[in-house]
């Protein structure tokens, strides 16, 4: 099986019906010899920050001499970027082999996995084959009924909980927290949470530690790195930018300490498209903010790093997101906005999005594609590209291979 054939096989499974619960995923894992039961897994769920927290934990483990596998979602720059070993993407050949192995086991079994179940099973098989010291698994959506929640785990990590995916997870913080808390089976660490979410999490574990954002001290921000103190950790350096990244970093510190690691370095943590500076002349920033909490964090970061500097915004969103909030909060901050859309069937049309934005800023143009939007930015010194992560691969492609020099392909 070639890589192209593997992707075609996965695509065919998009026709399979979602069966509520985890029985289908458990049956698939049993067919594969239960690789998910044979690894030291750190399981992450939450509304915001899962990817960044995972990146910090990964960096802390690697810097302490451990080999680390990681499975995150969704893909951002390439289909394979969700599945890494010590920071390097799975190769096309390896992915083809693991999908071929799974397809042979599934044949005539009566099991019809969804795409995400199949992708998750592939992650389990490949990461087990790498003999990792630790494996970081990120829940796709929710937690309790997510396909990733069939593993044994050494630690559960809960990032900040907020209202998102309400059609699937519930309409209140408590209901959503209940879904996220479903990954907890023992020892856990959590970000600082709203009191409603904290109560739910405490009910699920008597062995849970909450990060304390009030203990983040002496923060020094620059566009190169952030330095801060947290409890006994002095002069912690992180290179992921954003006003919120210190909070993600201290959750990672709590997770690493829970694993018995105390000499902690979070340097070299990488996570694409989270307030990431891609170029400096002109300044181009990529940010995957796609819910109200992400937009609030983006606004705070812009003010923190760039003050009143004039920006052009290139933005695209999915139609099931709160794009009215995006427009209301972000549009007044821009000198000009350019709307784009993607091939994703959930993408909001560029013209429809522009109509919403015009209520808050009349200077809106429609580009359709990210490449065309960048061409329309000639003469502007500061450009922010934000919204759905699905526009980010197009952004990187449009900017050229030099932007992707630090990305394993």
Please, how many CA atoms are within 13 Å of residue 80, restricted to the half-sphere of its CB?
A: 22
Question: Please, which pLDDT band fits residue 165 given cuts at 50, 70 and 90?
Answer: low
Residues 6+ apart with CB under 8 A from 262: 256
The tokens for 306 are 């760039």
- Average pLDDT (193-222) is 94
Question: Where in 26-174 does DSSP place strands (E)?
Answer: 41-45, 68-71, 83-85, 88-89, 134-138, 155-158
pLDDT, tens only, 334-357:
999 999 998 778 889 999 999 999
**Mean local confidence (pLDDT), 120-125:** 98
Q: Which residue has the tokens 């002069």?
A: 235
Smallest CA-to-CA distance from 176 within 188, 159, 156, 189 is with 159
Does position 273 have pLDDT exceeding 60, yes or no? yes
Is residue 119 within 8 A of residue 148, CB to CB? The reply is no
Whether residue 94 contacts residue 126, with contact meaning beta carbons closer than 8 Å, is answered with yes
Domain with residues 3-258, CATH architecture: 3-Layer(aba) Sandwich (3.40)
Confidence band, pLDDT 50/70/90 cuts, at residue 403: very low
CA 363, CA 100: separation in Å to the nearest integer? 51
CA 253: distance to chain centroid?
A: 18
Q: Bridge-partner residues for 157, per DSSP?
A: 44, 189
Beta strands 68-71 and 155-158: pairing type? unpaired
Of 285, 283, 310, 313, nearest in space to 376 by CA: 313
Query: Count of alpha carbons within 13 Å of 50, Cβ hemisphere only?
Result: 26
Q: Which is nearest to 271 in space by CA: 50, 42, 51, 81? A: 51
Q: Considering the chain, what percentage of its residues have pLDDT values greater than 90?
A: 74
Percent of the chain at pLDDT > 70 equals 96
How confident is residue 325, by pLDDT bands cut at 50, 70 and 90?
very high
Could you tell me whether strands 134-138 and 68-71 are parallel, antiparallel, or unpaired per DSSP bridges?
A: parallel
Q: How confident is the model at residue 406 (pLDDT cuts 50, 70, 90)?
A: very low
What's the pLDDT score for residue 405? 45
* 65-77 pLDDT per residue, tens: 999 999 998 888 8
**The pLDDT of residue 379:** 86
Q: What is the mean pLDDT of the chain?
A: 91
Predicted local confidence at residue 408, as pLDDT: 39
Q: Where are the domains of the chain?
A: 3-258, 276-404
* Topology (CATH) of 276-404: 3.90.190
Query: Is the distance from CB of 208 to CB of 188 less than 8 angstroms?
Result: yes
- Specify the pLDDT at position 8: 95
Instruction: Please give the structure tokens belonging to residue 350.
Output: 């560029």
């Amino acid at each position: 099986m070639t890589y192209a054939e593997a992707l075609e096989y996965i695509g065919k499974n998009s026709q399979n019906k979602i069966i509520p619960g985890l029985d289908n995923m458990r049956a698939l894992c049993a067919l594969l010899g239960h690789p998910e039961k044979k690894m030291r897994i750190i399981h992450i769920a939450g509304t915001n920050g899962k990817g960044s927290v995972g990146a910090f934990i990964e960096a802390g483990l690697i810097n302490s001499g451990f080999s680390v596998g990681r499975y995150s979602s969704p893909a951002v720059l390439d289909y394979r970027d969700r599945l890494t070993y010590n920071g390097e993407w799975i190769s096309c050949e390896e992915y083809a082999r693991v999908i071929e192995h799974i397809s042979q086991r599934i044949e005539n079994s009566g099991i019809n996995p969804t795409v995400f179940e199949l992708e998750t099973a592939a992650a389990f098989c490949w990461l087990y084959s790498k003999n990792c010291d630790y494996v970081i698994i990120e829940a796709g959506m929710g937690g309790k009924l997510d396909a990733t929640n069939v593993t044994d785990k050494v630690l559960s990590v809960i990032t900040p909980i907020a209202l998102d995916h309400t059609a699937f997870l519930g309409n209140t913080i408590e209901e959503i927290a209940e879904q996220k808390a479903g990954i907890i089976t023992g020892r856990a660490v959590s970000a600082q949470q709203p009191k409603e979410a904290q109560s739910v999490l405490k009910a699920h574990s008597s062995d849970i530690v909450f990060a304390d954002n009030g203990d983040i001290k002496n923060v020094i921000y620059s566009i190169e790195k952030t330095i801060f103190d947290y409890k006994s950790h002095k002069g912690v350096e992180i290179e992921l930018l954003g006003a919120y990244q210190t909070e993600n970093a201290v959750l990672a510190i709590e997770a690493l300490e829970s694993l018995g690691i105390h000499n902690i370095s979070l340097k070299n943590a990488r996570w694409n498209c989270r307030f990431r500076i891609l170029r400096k002349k002109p300044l181009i920033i990529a940010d995957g903010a796609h819910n109200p909490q992400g937009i609030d964090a983006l606004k705070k970061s812009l003010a923190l790093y760039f003050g009143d500097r004039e920006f052009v915004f290139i933005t695209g969103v999915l139609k099931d997101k709160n794009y009215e909030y995006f427009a209301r909060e972000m549009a007044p901050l821009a000198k000009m906005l350019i709307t784009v859309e993607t091939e994703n069937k959930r993408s909001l049309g560029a013209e429809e999005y522009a109509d919403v934005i015009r209520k808050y800023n009349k200077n809106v143009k429609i580009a359709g594609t990210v490449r065309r939007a960048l061409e329309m930015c000639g003469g502007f010194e500061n450009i922010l590209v934000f919204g759905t992560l699905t526009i980010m691969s197009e952004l990187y492609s449009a900017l050229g291979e030099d932007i992707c020099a630090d990305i394993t392909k």
